[in-house]
Amino acid sequence: MEPPEPASPRSAGRPSVLVIGAARSGTTALVTELATHTDLYAGAPKEPHFLALGHGAPLAFTGPGDDVTINAKAVLRADAWGAMYPAPGGIDGSVSSLYYAPDAVAAIARHCPDAALIAILRRPAQRALSAHSYQTGKGWETLSFEAALAAEAERIEAGWHHIWHYRRMGHYAEQLEVFADAFGATRVLVLDHAEFEQDPAGVLRRCATHIGIDPEGFAMRNRRVNEGSVRARPLVLAERTLRHSRVGSAVVRAVLPRAARDRIRRVGRRDVTLTAATRRELDQYFAADTARLAGLLGDRAPAWARSA
């Protein structure tokens, strides 16, 4: 497929920027910072999943919590998705777009062929652990990381949605090659999660250049969002009960400012790390795809891919 000719860089009724993935690699923080720009805003929800999963039929993922998360919240109709972007400058931050690359590429070519494409990648072993920690922190994951890796193929076969695909979601080269074949090798700006954490202002300037907007238009927040650390299960279950109560959640939002709610969510959090044995096993597992990624991107590849 030949790369589509860009139309207007910022059009109403469709997003101007697609942050396509990868999951648990800083996409929420990136969208949050991009949306501080005077010319951009984030759609609500941040991840409508329409481009990858909007096939007309209701979603029926079967993992724990999938019924009240992705099945209930994904935007599956083109008109509802377009209405999320009433003005130029909208951002769609659906990480499913990278994972379900063939379906997403076809939908992008149809609905928003001129959108700027951005991917932010994290070392795949660390990304997998972060996804596991996130699901554990939400109270959905009950297995250890190693046990969950062993159960992954069975879970995929049973229809659990992509956040549970801890190992498989790290096949970045396989996913990006679909975008390169469809839109051209340089159409996707590929960012490094580690670089974004170390130099967010520099990464945002690169994004602005890629999008075609003023690099000085950001009002950075530098607020950590959507972290994947683990908390005690009773705290998780209490928060989930409150969040799913309309009255309770409304009272909390009315009484507590966002910063205070963020501080409360961090209570009891603890970071988790890879064991040396699991790190070695995952690094070996991902070695072929990482080499393929370095070959695909060349000097645009993240430093961890070029040095592998």
Amino acid letter, 187: R
pLDDT per position as a tens digit, 76-91: 999 999 999 999 999 9
Q: What does the alpha-carbon distance between residue 43 and residue 88 come to, in Å, rounded to a whole number?
A: 11
pLDDT at 277 over 90: yes
Q: How far is CA 37 from CA 32, 41, 145, in A?
A: 10, 7, 38
Model confidence at 240, pLDDT cuts 50, 70, 90, reads very low
Q: What does the alpha-carbon distance between residue 126 and residue 103 come to, in Å, rounded to a whole number?
A: 26
Taking the model in full, what pTM does it have?
A: 0.84
54: left (phi over 0), alpha (psi -120 to 50) or beta: beta
Mean pLDDT of 38-48: 97
Residue 34 — φ and ψ, nearest 5°?
A: -60, -40
pLDDT at 250 over 90: no
Q: Which two tokens stand for residue 149?
A: 């890796």
- For residue 221, the model assigns a pLDDT of 77
Residue 6 — φ and ψ, nearest 5°?
A: -60, 140
Give the H/E segment covering residue 106. helix 101-111
pLDDT per position as a tens digit, 288-298: 999 999 999 99
Residue 123 — φ and ψ, nearest 5°?
A: -45, 125
- For residue 170, the model assigns a pLDDT of 98
Tell me the torsion sign for CA atoms 33, 36, 38, 39: positive
- For residue 59, the model assigns a pLDDT of 97
- Of all residues in the chain, what percent carry a pLDDT higher than 90? 77
pLDDT per position as a tens digit, 98-147: 999 999 999 999 999 999 999 999 999 999 999 999 999 999 999 999 99
List the domain boundaries for the chain: 17-227, 231-269
CATH architecture of the domain with residue range 17-227: 3-Layer(aba) Sandwich (3.40)
Amino acid letter, 12: A
- Whether 6 contacts 79, CB under 8 Å: no
Mapping DSSP to helix (H, G, I), strand (E, B) and coil, where does residue 205 land? helix
* Residue 92, beta-bridge partner list: 18
